[in-house]
Structure 1
Amino acid sequence: MPIPKTTLAIAGLLAIAAATAWTTLAPAAQRYVFAASWQPGFCETQPDKRECRNQGRKSFEATNFTLHGLWPQQTDYCGVPSSDINADKSGRWSSLPSVDLSPALRTRLDEVMPGTRSSLERHEWTKHGTCSGQDQETYYGNALWVLDELNQSAVRQLFASNIGKRVSQDQIRGAFDKAFGPGAGQRVRVSCERDGNRRLVTELTIGLVGTIKPGASLAELIAAASPTDGGCDGGIVDPIGFQ
Structure 2
Amino acid sequence: MPIDNYIMSLIWSPQFCHDRKVSGWGKLQCSGKNGRFGLTVHGLWPNGKTSWPQWCPTRQQPNASTIAKQICITPSRRLLAHEWGKHGSCTSMNPDEFFRTTRMLYRSYHLPDLNRLAQKRIVTAANVREAFAAANPGWTPDMVGLALTRSGWLTELWLCYDKMLKPLRCTRQQWGPADPARVRIRPLD
Query: What range is the shorter-chain TM-score in?
Result: 0.7 to 0.9
Cα separation, partners in 2 of 1:164 and 1:45, compared to 1, 3 Å: farther
Largest Rg, 1 or 2 = 1
Note if 1:171 corresponds to 2:119.
no
Task: Give the TM-score normalised by structure 1.
Answer: 0.61
Count of aligned positions: 177
Cα separation, partners in 2 of 1:133 and 1:181, compared to 1, 3 Å: same
Q: CA deviation at 1:163?
A: 4.6
Cα separation, partners in 2 of 1:131 and 1:98, compared to 1, 3 Å: closer
| Superposition map of 1:149-188 within 5 A | 149-150=108-109, 153=110, 156-163=111-118, 165=120, 167-178=123-134, 179-181=136-138, 184-188=140-144
Task: Give unpaired runs (5+ residues) of structure 2.
Answer: none
Correspondence for 1:68: 42
Give the counterpart letter for 2:14 in structure 1: P
Deviation per residue, 1:130-187 (Å, 9 max, x gap):
111111111011111222223xx2xx233143355563211122124322436x2112
Correspondence for 2:158: 205
Note if 1:110 corresponds to 2:110.
no
Q: CA deviation at 1:122?
A: 1.2
Provide the aligned C-alpha RMSD in A.
3.0
2:186, 2:126 → 1: CA distance? Answer: 18
SS of match in other structure, 1:177: helix
Cα separation, partners in 2 of 1:240 and 1:101, compared to 1, 3 Å: same
SS of match in other structure, 1:172: helix
SS of match in other structure, 1:114: coil
Higher helix proportion, which one? 1
Cα separation, partners in 2 of 1:100 and 1:30, compared to 1, 3 Å: farther
Task: Give unpaired runs (5+ residues) of structure 1.
Answer: 1-23, 82-96, 213-220
Cα separation, partners in 2 of 1:159 and 1:173, compared to 1, 3 Å: same
Percent identity, please.
21
Q: CA deviation at 1:108?
A: 3.6
Cα separation, partners in 2 of 1:51 and 1:122, compared to 1, 3 Å: closer
Correspondence for 2:35: 59
Q: CA deviation at 1:60?
A: 5.0
Cα separation, partners in 2 of 1:30 and 1:199, compared to 1, 3 Å: closer
1:51, 1:110 → 2: CA distance? Answer: 12
